[in-house]
Amino acid sequence: MTALKKYARLEASGLWRATPEDQRREVVVSVGDATLILSDMSDRAITHWSLAAIQRANPGKTPALYYPQGDPGETLELAGDEAQMIDAIEQLRRAVERRRPKPGRLRWLGMALSIATVVAVGLFWVPQALTRHTLSVVPQVKRAQIGDALLRRIERMSGAVCGDDAGLRALATFRARLGTDQINILPGAIDTSLHLPGGHILLNRSLVEDFEEPDVAAGFAIVEQSLSRAQDPLQDLLQVSGTWASFQLLTTGNLQSDVLDRYAEHLLTKDRPVPPPDTLIAVFDVAGLRSTPYAYARDITGETVLPLIEADPMRGKNPSALLSDADWLRLQGICRA
């Protein structure tokens, strides 16, 4: 409306013809209410062109040639010296074009949003859903096989699982007393402890050789057990290894050797988060174990594990011994074979 008011009194001379066969005739061009008015020299209106329908046949050239949309045979020619009217018509046309609906733009926007949605689903929802479904259908026996395969790879870097016969008998008694999954003592590679899919708990030999009582090794064992119960260790393997590993395990029931190799190396080199001390008090309480020996093994100063010391669930109690002195000595010698 601002543009219409600005050019309401503007007039120009032009040449108009109704059809290509007609003779061009001189007309007076003026801007009306949403129309371009073409009048004869007696100021009688000949025709009205809707501003929304004006098209230019030769953009950027002079004389400017216009026609109403849908009828290129009817033309209006404006000479170069009518630059003010030409400029006015072009500005009005641009104003109309800006207000015109852009269905194509909306379609492209809709397509872009649809593609973005599909990509987001593919990147975020599908991998998580595939991993969840895979975890729900993998049986325990397959988890145990994967854990065994990982243990064999870890043994290449740590040395073989300690296997002194007397020590293994003491370890069986130790595990039965704790009620944990299978426990293996390794001569190296791991700092303290690990857990694997299928019910494997790995302890470094230092946990039995460097302490005077089995409570330290027991503490690390039950903490690893609680961590494996809190989050499926197979889930960590699949998340670290990527969507293809989940798809492979789901469709074939197996994981490629290079996937297991990379994950075994990941387990031995990554920084493992240490469970907050106050979250472990209940674990020691349920197991009937003293938490203080484990706490001092984690931090000899006791500063970072103070809750485990101050809230030791066995404080003031007399829990039964985990092992006899003889069995504890045998367990300490499990790696000496």
Q: How far apart are CA 65 and CA 86, in angstroms?
A: 10
- Split at pLDDT 50, 70, 90, the class of 190 is confident
Mean pLDDT score, 78-87: 89
Measure the CA–CA gap between 120 and 128, rounded to whole angstroms: 12
CB 127 within 8 A of CB 291: no
Q: Which of 220, 206, 218, 151 is nearest to 335 (CA)?
A: 206
Q: Which residue has the tokens 């020590």?
A: 167
CA 260 to chain centre: 23
pLDDT at 314: 93
Name the more confident of 32 and 174. Answer: 174
| Residue 37 neighbours by CB under 8 Å, 6+ apart | 29, 30, 31, 45, 48
Structure tokens at 230: 């809190």
SS3 31: strand
- pLDDT for 326 equals 95
Residues 6+ apart with CB under 8 A from 65: 56, 57, 58, 75, 76, 77
Of the candidates 221, 207, 202, 80, the residue with the CA atom closest to the CA atom of residue 151 = 202
pLDDT band at 252 (very low <50, low <70, confident <90, very high): confident
Assessment of whether the complete model's pTM goes beyond 0.85: no
**Average pLDDT along the chain:** 87
Query: 49, 34 in Cβ contact below 8 A?
Result: no
User: Whose structure tokens read 């790696």?
Assistant: 335
Distance (Å, whole) CA 163 – CA 126: 44
CA distance 111 to 120: 14
Give the model's confidence band at 219: pLDDT under 50 very low, under 70 low, under 90 confident, else very high.
very high
Q: 51 falls in which pLDDT band (50, 70, 90)?
A: confident
Distance CA 60, CA 67 (A): 15
State the number of CA atoms in the 13 A half-sphere of 18 facing the CB: 5
3 pLDDT more than 80: no
Where does the pLDDT of residue 246 fall: very low under 50, low under 70, confident under 90, or very high at 90 and above?
A: confident
Residues 6+ positions from 45 with CB-CB distance below 8 Å: 37, 38, 39
- Strand-pairing partners, residue 202, are 184, 194
pLDDT at 123: 44
In tens, the pLDDT along 264-323 reads 999 888 888 888 999 999 999 999 999 999 999 999 999 999 999 999 999 988 888 899
Q: Is pLDDT at 54 greater than 60 in this prediction?
A: yes
What pLDDT is stored for residue 116 in this prediction? Answer: 57
Query: What is the CB neighbour count within 10 angstroms for residue 237?
Result: 26
Can you tell me the mean pLDDT for 213-225? 95
- Per-residue pLDDT tens over the stretch 84-139: 888 888 888 888 777 766 555 566 666 666 665 555 444 445 567 778 888 888 88
Residue 198, token pair as written in the block: 């299928």
